Amino acid sequence: MSSSQLPLPAHFLWGAATAAHQIEGNNTNSDWWQKEHSGTPQIAEPSLDACDSYHRWREDMDLLVELGFTDYRFSVEWARVEPAPGHFSPAELAHYRRMVDGAIERGLRPMVTLHHFTVPRWFAERGGWTADGAVDLFARYVAATAPVIGSGVRHVCTINEPNMIAVMAGAAKAGDIGWGPVGTPAPDGATTEAVIAAHRAAVRAVKDIDADIQVGWTVANQNYQALPGAEDVTAAYRYPREDVFLEAARGDDFLGVQAYTRTRVGPEGPIPTPEDAERTLTDWEYYPPAIGPALRHSADVVGEVPLIVTENGIATDDDTRRIDYYTGALSEVAAAIEDGLDIRGYYAWSALDNYEWGSYEPTFGLIAVDPVTFERTPKPSAAWLGGIGRTRELPRVAS
């Protein structure tokens, strides 16, 4: 293999991503905190203090800047901002505003996500996304974040991976406690409709705050690959799990594309990963090219909407494999840019080893975190990936 470099466009976003519940700690008013302490079978351990980033966000941002990153995607926790219906906490809004100001002061451009999987307990207890008035309640919360996003924030994600929200709702209705060895459960149709409506209401609310904010949402791309003769089966399987959410992004300011591995589909549906395939700590197939087909398929569906890779990475305890994974993934991004796709940025998942929705074992982070002292230790992959922010050149691998 030999490699060359592709210069990044001048304003290309180069960052790492996190989610509030996964790093802040003690998010006691959220539905996930309740799940973690109620004996839910698939949750191996609770989040507890997580990475204590609620208090240590300055250190996290300092490290990202030192490493060479120019952008940081983080989320606002709805359960903190609105701990009781209609009560918006000035203290928590000020906290997240300090994070925005802190990022800007350090030269990090903030991308703010308004919903990253967790909701307030009171919202979940009244029925969640499909309850009467849920869309209006989400739009009310978004409007209340005006002090956080009203100045200095260029990009806002309304909802992270709405297709996974619908899939998880479908699994819960079906009584599934695990997803099985292959594929994903059928998404819940009512939840799909609700989160699409919530996104559109949130876009309007953000634009009312500042019409110049670039607004979009992020979709989890499963990189469905049709085996010969299974093209129609693949399209039918993919549509309710992915394409309907991509179609909802038409007309947005950007679409966030997120991909980690692939799903091969045969005439009978998804097929298992080969037994001899390398797997990550999430038991996914090690597949660095995943982001390439994800970007191309997303572009085919949304048309002229600019794309941003808002998550991409690998859960591994072997940092050399992390560097190899990112090398392969970024080569795909470079090839897509060369082919004319309008790609505006790339965010690695994740800035920190964090709470991966039930366990701390899958380590996606560029920066290790001691679970007792919370000491941060950047990995070699962090210096390697952050360095691209200084050179402004993507690796381009040729065989």
Residue 398, pLDDT score: 63
Spatial distance between the Cα atoms of 16 and 378, rounded to a whole number of angstroms: 13
Rounded Cα–Cα distance for residues 155 and 168 (Å): 27
Give the largest CA-CA distance in the chain.
58
Phi-psi region of 392 (alpha: psi -120 to 50; beta: other; left: phi over 0): left
- Supply the pLDDT for residue 396: 81
CA pair distance 271, 179, nearest whole angstrom: 14
Rounded CA separation 77/350 (Å): 17
300 Cβ neighbours under 8 A, 6+ residues apart: none
Nearest-CA neighbor of 121 among 17, 222, 27, 198? 27
Q: Domain containing 288: what range?
A: 2-398
Pairing of strands 367-369, 376-378: antiparallel
- 52-82: pLDDT as tens digits: 999 999 999 999 999 999 999 999 999 999 9
Residues 6+ apart with CB under 8 A from 247: 301, 302
pLDDT given for residue 183 in this prediction: 83
Q: pLDDT at position 40, please? A: 87
pLDDT for 41: 86
Bond preceding residue 350 cis, omega within 30 of 0: yes
What is the chain's alpha carbon radius of gyration, rounded to the nearest angstrom? 20
Overall domain count for the chain? 1
Q: How far apart (Å, rounded) are the C-alpha atoms in residues 286 and 321?
A: 9
CATH number for the domain that contains residue 120: 3.20.20.80
pLDDT of residue 395: 87
pLDDT of residue 1: 40
Q: Count CB atoms within 10 A of the CB of residue 237.
A: 21
Query: What's the rounded Cα separation, in Å, for the pair 342 and 304?
Result: 8
Which residue numbers in the chain have pLDDT < 70?
Answer: 1-3, 176-181, 398-399
